[in-house]
Amino acid sequence: MKNFLALMLLMLPFIGQAQLKTELYKWEENPVFNQETNDTSMQAIYLQKNIIKEQVYEKDDLMEYHLTNNRIKLLTKRALENFKVVYIPKDETSKPIREAARVLKSNGQIVILNTSDIKEGMDEESKKAYRYFVFEDLSVGDEIEYLFVVRQIPDIRGFIIQAQSNYPVLSYHFDLYTQPNLIYKFKTTNGLTEIQQDTSITDYNHWYLQAKSIPRLREEMVSNYLGNLQCLHYALDRNLATGNRDVTSYGPYAKDVYNFAYLKDKKLIAQFNKLIKTINPPKGNEVETIRAVEDYIKSKFVYTDVNLDALSDPAYMLANKAYNDLGALILFTNLYKQLGIKHEIVITTDRTNVPFDPEFESFTYLDHFLLYFPSIQKFMVLSDLFSRMGIPTAKYCNNYGLFVKEVSVSGYETGIGKVKFIPELVMEVSQGNIEANLQFSEDLSETKIIASHTLSGYNAMYYQPVFQLITDPKNLEDFRKETANFLDLDDEPVSFEFENDKSELFGIKPFIVKSTYQTDFMIEKAGDTYLLKAGLLIGSQMELYDTLEARKTPLELPYNHRLDRKLIIQTPNGYTWSNLEELVYDVSYIPANSDTAFAFVSSYTMQDNQLIINIHEWYHGVNWPKEVWDDYRKVINAAANFNKIRLILQPAKKD
């Protein structure tokens, strides 16, 4: 998406090129086998990671030769499986130049891979070809080494290199060689050493980064793994040949986005107005108008995540009712513009992949389109069929974005950009509440449960808008049954019904599931005593009991949310409960000078023969330091422990 317009940069004319660094590069002819690294807890270790990016002019084009040379020691059987296949970057603009691989056996033998060990495949979903090395007959303790050079078009306006991974690196080297007129800017994150420039060279530019050791970063629950990796970000800043400064700048990009998005052709605009008549959105209420247009496009048109020019061509989209990401931008912006609804284009990242850095301009962060409606202060995600205005996809919130606002300068309309924050939704928006009434059969062999599940916000996102998107009757019935069994019991509900199960109601009314169970699964008999699995009435719960290592990364929750449950259990005549104190929980984390961040609070009362249990659970705040991990675990595990409660029902003592 960030490259939806051709990159126009005036470069120097062709310059005679000395032999490339990537051509001169060779791996060690007589490598020394590593005898020291044998810590199997690491599974594998990169003995070296070498990356060279070399940019050269070839006639009028700037091309890049990318070299990777990695050497890895395999310490466990799992590592043998993980590194049996190593993929080589390939796309429609790249061309393999050199490819080599070898195995350094623990007995000192060196096995060179043949060209037949380099294979090609095709991804069935994306239909993209890929190449890969296949290492056969590996043994624990072996080392593999591979080297490849790819000729490609460089991502000069933004690129990220992940130096860190789940495996430690003993030696890391990165080199960027460019022509003398191209000046790059850099930023390293999460503790990665800063990049250096070799100022002794005058006929080309050379930046390099060297690290003697990069620790492994294992994946942790409730964490933004990719966002916590040590990375190098870089982008072109200046072109000395043309005098262009701030080459990677959001100012010109905002104008380009504006010019791309909004139509000027009167015939096309007339077609959009015709579509508006077909949609027939209500007038006089901006929110209802916005939602009517959004729901029509997302339910009547077909969205395809394919980079095909036709799917962003206005005439083709209107005729075929199909669009892609860029097409979504054109469709929604022009419909709302013709309706007179003020909005701003927002371009941002998936924060779980690459958080948007507000201090470093790079097109790497310009991946996903949203709209912002300033009069109602609501966001809309254009390409997410499950999202609706006011409930933007969570991974784009709690993040920064580039806001492009329409302005008029001397009668000329254009767009100006400003980086601003996209706030997360408050926890009251996303709720998942359960009300359940349980009754025993006369002989106490079964229970009847009448329960309702009320979902809103993100908790309803993958239910409420989905029903109208499933066209296969069997798949729809399977989805209905799975949704109805929200208590996740072994026995499916004997009956169920849904309320507000339409996409146009998502974000307006809660989605409600009403289910009735008739099951013996909840009861266990021991003599004249019965055990009721009362904790199952809150549904299955996540567990965070085991922590093998100290927490390394801060917490990042998907979104704020709240869960309330009310459980009513009818006490059978002649019986009484003996362990109700187990129902009482009060586990919370309250930061200094703030409201409660996480909590699981439960209590009970007895009213006549009814046991009434009230449970309140909430998670307020997305980002927390790693020191809060144990407090968060306690709240999560309180819910998991409640889920395991077995209430003891025994005959009442006779007077």
- What local confidence, expressed as pLDDT, does residue 594 receive? 82
Rounded to whole angstroms, the maximal C-alpha distance in the chain is 106
Q: Is 289 exposed, middle or buried (0-12, 13-18, 19+ CB in 10 A)?
A: buried
In the prediction, which pLDDT does 640 show? 96
Domain residues of the chain, as ranges?
A: 21-245, 250-422, 432-651
Strands (E), 508-552: 511-519, 523-526, 529-532
The whole-angstrom separation of Cα 397 and Cα 423 is 6
H-assigned helices in 313-452: 314-320, 325-338
Compute the distance between CA of residue 390 and CA of residue 632 in angstroms, rounded to an integer: 28
Q: First and final CA of the chain: distance in angstroms?
A: 78
Q: Residue 130's pLDDT is what?
A: 80
Structural domain 432-651, CATH architecture = Sandwich (2.60)
Q: In the prediction, which pLDDT does 19 show? A: 82
CATH class of the 250-422 domain in this structure: alpha beta
What is the DSSP code string of 17-81?
A: -PPPHHHH----SSPPPP-S---GGGSEEEEEEEEEEEEEEETTEEEEEEEEEEEEEE-SHHHHH
Strand partners for 120: 131
- For residue 125, the model assigns a pLDDT of 63
Q: Which tens digit of pLDDT belongs to each residue from 405-417?
A: 999 888 889 999 9
pLDDT of residue 105: 92
pLDDT of residue 151: 94
> Is 397 in contact with 410 (CB distance < 8 Å)?
no
CA–CA distances in Å: residue 474 to residues 300, 479, 572: 21, 9, 40
Nearest to 347 by CA among 334, 331, 322, 329: 329
Q: Are 434 and 539 in contact (CB under 8 A)?
A: yes
Q: What's the confidence (pLDDT) of residue 468?
A: 86
Positions of the chain with pLDDT under 70: 1-18, 123-128, 547-548, 655
The CATH architecture one would assign to domain 21-245 is Sandwich (2.60)
Let me know if the fold of 21-245 is the same as that of 250-422: no
Q: What is the pLDDT of residue 89?
A: 78
Give the integer Cα–Cα distance in Å for 439 and 572.
8
At residue 267, the pLDDT reads 96
The confidence score (pLDDT) of residue 108 equals 85
pLDDT in the model for residue 5? 43
Distance CA(348)–CA(516), nearest Å, equals: 44
pLDDT reported for residue 275: 97
> pLDDT tens digit string along 521-569?
999 998 899 999 999 999 999 999 876 688 999 999 999 999 999 999 9
Give the pLDDT of residue 545: 86
Q: What is the pLDDT of residue 14?
A: 40
